[in-house]
Amino acid sequence: MTFAIGIGIGTRNSKGEWLEVFYPAPLLQPGSAIATTIAASVHHAGGNAAIDITPEQSAALYRALKAGGHDFAWLDAMATSQKPLVVTILDSDEAPASVPEVYLKLHLLSHRLVKPHTLNLTGMFGLLPNVAWTDEGAIDIRELPERQLQARLRGRVLEVASVDKFPKMANYVVPGGVRVAHTARVRLGAYLGEGTTIMHEGFVNFNAGTEGPGMVEGRISAGVFVGKGSDIGGGASTMGTLSGGNNVVISLGEGCLLGANAGVGIPLGDRCTIEAGLYITAGSVVTLVDSAGAPAGHCKARELAGKSDLLFRRNSKNGAIECLTNKSAIELNEALHKHN
């Protein structure tokens, strides 16, 4: 069974190297009839491959699929494309070997076809070029000065929104039922579940996101997944897996609250709260507090990883980090998370 297929339109630099690819409707584990038709049309010999096609081939592929009862109208529109076209076929979920393969996997995530940590993204950073994302599209950094000059000669300024390996998600995918106040703060490859609200200072990296519904006013770092009904407060931070030598997958369960300017470096179970301004790392020494409010021992925070119904707070008198049973799980305002 074919793992995934994407038929995309993208951008190359002057050397013919791919900078980015847009897949209007990526397919996860497509039916054998669709997979066979597409593979035959592009002469796919097997394995994982990104195959260049012409607009004429796109039109022929559309007709072949329609004859089989599969009407992809967007594919017919590609027959008029003046931009490079590509068919990316992944027979299996192996480490990507090209820019089109990386982009297909990022699209699978943002289309909610797969969840974070379910794809093999090994080596993707070495494949993705650093790109200038402009109001004229993706531009190779090495070619940016010439393009800026050309724009000036035409009497305009080339607007460079960012210089990054990843584009913003909303230029490729806008999943249903979400609010994103500042689209530049959500990268392609983010997974936003229905009912998710990303406020202006909220940030979601690739291969990370929310089950939804949920409110995000802080940072969800790469690899972090936040469960249903959880809230990331203003300025709050989750520790990712890209820097600092951290190889522990951080996650928040359902109904958690990460208070304003707080942070977490361990996985949390369900209904956990970290009070505002408190950053918990795996090595933090925590005082355990019993139901009577008395100290009951000490441990490292890593020993509490994944456990539910915990409240972490700072003792205002001695500064110690304390952990006790969380007696009041948060409740999200449903009206804030219905995005029709």
pTM of the complete model: 0.91
Q: Are residues 201 and 308 in the same domain?
A: yes
Min mean pLDDT across 56-60, 69-73, 307-311, 320-324 is at: 69-73
**Domain boundary at 125, 156, 185, which?**
125
Clarify whether residues 179 and 87 are in a common domain.
no
Catalytic residue check, 56:
no
99 pLDDT above the threshold of 70: yes
> What's the mean pLDDT in 226-236?
96
Do residues 119 and 158 both lie within one domain?
no
The answer to whether residues 141 and 111 belong to one domain is no
Q: Does 270 lie in the same domain as 200?
A: yes
How many domains, the chain? 3
Contact 231, 218 (CB under 8 A): no
Number of H helices, E strands in the chain: 6, 27
Query: Of all residues in the chain, what percent carry a pLDDT higher than 90?
Result: 81
Q: Distance (Å, rounded) from C-alpha 224 to C-alpha 211?
A: 11
Is there a single domain that holds both residue 90 and residue 136?
Answer: no
**Alpha helix (H) ranges present in the chain?**
32-41, 55-67, 73-77, 99-110, 124-127, 144-153
Alpha carbon distances (Å) from 125 to 96, 162, 168, 185, 195:
10, 17, 16, 19, 30
**Are 84 and 144 within one domain?**
no
- What is the spatial distance between Cα 187 and Cα 222, in angstroms, rounded to a whole number? 10
Give the CATH number, domain containing residue 270: 2.160.10.10
Residues 192 and 267 in one domain: yes
Q: What pLDDT is stored for residue 247 in this prediction?
A: 67
Q: Phi first, then psi: what are they for 46, rounded to 5°?
A: 110, 160
Least confident of 61-75, 182-196, 235-249: 235-249
User: Which range of residues forms the domain containing residue 243?
Assistant: 169-337
User: Using CA atoms, how far apart are residues 122 and 185, in angstroms rounded to an integer?
Assistant: 24
Q: Which residue in 20, 211, 217, 322 is the catalytic one? A: 217
Q: Beta-carbon neighbour count of residue 184 at 10 Å?
A: 16
Indicate whether 28 pLDDT > 60. Answer: yes
Q: Are residues 152 and 184 in the same domain?
A: no
Of 108, 141, 164, the last residue of a domain is 164
- Are 250 and 285 part of one and the same domain? yes
Q: What is the pLDDT of residue 249?
A: 86
CATH number for the domain spanning 140: value is: 3.30.60.70
pLDDT given at position 248: 78
Q: Are residues 32 and 103 in the same domain?
A: yes
CATH at 60: 3.30.70.2010
Closest residue by Cα to residue 196 from 225, 222, 223: 225
> Same domain for 148 and 229?
no
129-170: pLDDT as tens digits: 999 999 999 999 999 999 999 999 999 999 999 999 999 999
- CA quadruple 153, 154, 159, 163: dihedral sign: negative
